[in-house]
Amino acid sequence: MQGIYFINEQIHINGLSLDESSVFQQAALKEYMEERGITPVKLNPYQLHQHYTIPHALLYDLRLHKRQVDCLMMYSNESIEDFATTYPARWLILKSYFDRIMTAV
């Protein structure tokens, strides 16, 4: 199974700083992917990280490559909540590119 994982660099998890929260999310998601045998997908070869941090960029790359992916992974629903609330139509379009939306928590 292939998946894309999303890290929200703008949320505090368990009272951690923003940097610590990002590292925590990344570690939790990598462990989650290993347990379930999910291979991370990198759509854009010029992307600095294996994961996405901007939902708009993820949607842009999915549209550009016209690619359906098995799953979108994120630490929790809180990770995408702000985007989903602010841009509900874009969130629906983004979700349509994935067979499943999975959270580590």
Distance in angstroms (rounded) separating the CA atoms of residues 47 and 86:
25
Q: Is 85 helix (H, G, I), strand (E, B) or coil?
A: helix
- pLDDT reported for residue 67: 87
Mean pLDDT across 15-41:
95
pTM: 0.91
End-to-end CA distance of the chain: 19
The average confidence (pLDDT) of the chain is: 95
With 90 as the cut, is the pLDDT of residue 1 above it?
yes
Q: What is the pLDDT of residues 31-79, one digit of tens each?
A: 999 999 999 999 998 988 999 999 999 999 999 999 899 999 999 999 9
Task: Give the residue extent of every domain in the chain.
Answer: 2-103
pLDDT band for position 29 (cuts 50, 70, 90) = very high
